[in-house]
Structure 1
């Protein structure tokens, strides 16, 4: 005979596996079973970290263009402004998406090679870091994407 025999309070603290499974299914149906960040959410956070840097770079380039004497100055300024509008639209869309998912992040630590952010996701806190090299590569890829989208729009507009 063990110490727990005859202790009725102990019996009520136990959960049957059927109850655990039912609870897990209910949580999964409610969308709350996965409390950690998904790959898609990590991508959204990464993009939201990078988009302000892209906006800053485009703004700086636009300022430099304003002082240029190029004959295509106006066209380049319009293209830069279009890219800036697209960056702002993407930023607003991604912020709305994170808000719906109840995820937020703040700058945590800034070392020589890595920028860390604290991510608060469904009651949990996680540390998210990006190296400068990854940031440079991703910014370059994103700017290329924006430029090619703009080029496709211009090309389709001039094709008659």
Structure 2
């Protein structure tokens, strides 16, 4: 039997909305500084997306110089992909901010790209091999391209 049993004041517990949100957020995200697997994936994406945007920008510059027959279509295609990448990058950065994760500048040693990050007070380095990054970028470009092509096919079928 607790000291509060029989005390009528404790029957109705009132909780402010912001306190409820804080309580729920505390249970959603671990308070320890260690990152989860999902958060490591977000860190990788936040590192990868700027490289992808740079690659797209370079492709656009090269395309503008060329005399390619379908130059305008390719430019539009690349710009759509860049818009999708930018949207995903901003969503990833927003989620990292909400989880109190900060990523800092990169350095490269022996073909490994390192980024320092701070996650809820815990500091560590995230390293990714350049070849792994290249293959992941290739997979992502394929996904973005397939998404655009599937939208075009749906629009074509509806006509």
Contact 1:65 1:77 in 2 (8 A): yes
| Structure 1 position 52 matched with structure 2 position 63 | no
SS at match of 2:123: strand
- Distance in 2 separating the partners of 1:146 and 1:154: 13
| Structure 1 position 42 matched with structure 2 position 24 | no
Matching residue of 1:144? 142
Matching residue of 1:131? 129
Work out which of the two has the higher radius of gyration on C-alpha atoms and give 1 or 2: 1
* Offset of residue 64 of structure 1: 1.2
Q: CA 1:84–1:97 in structure 2 vs 1: closer, same or farther (change >3 Å)?
A: same
The structure 1 segments of at least 4 consecutive aligned residues displaced by more than 3 Å after TM superposition are 26-34
* Offset of residue 71 of structure 1: 2.4
- Distance in 1 separating the partners of 2:96 and 2:148: 27
- Distance in 1 separating the partners of 2:65 and 2:50: 23
Equivalent residue runs for 1:4-15 within 5 Å: none
* Offset of residue 108 of structure 1: 4.7
Q: CA 1:31–1:66 in structure 2 vs 1: closer, same or farther (change >3 Å)?
A: closer
RMSD: 1.9
Matching residue of 2:13? none
Matching residue of 1:98? 96
Q: TM-score, normalised by structure 2?
A: 0.78
Among 103, 107, 114, the alignment partner of 2:105 is: 107
Q: Mark the runs of 5 or more structure 1 residues left unpaired by the alignment.
A: 1-25
SS at match of 2:66: coil
Q: TM-score, normalised by structure 1?
A: 0.78
- Distance in 1 separating the partners of 2:57 and 2:121: 37
- Distance in 2 separating the partners of 1:79 and 1:27: 39
Corresponding pairs, count: 135
Contact 1:119 1:127 in 2 (8 A): yes
Matching residue of 2:67? 69
Q: CA 1:28–1:94 in structure 2 vs 1: closer, same or farther (change >3 Å)?
A: closer
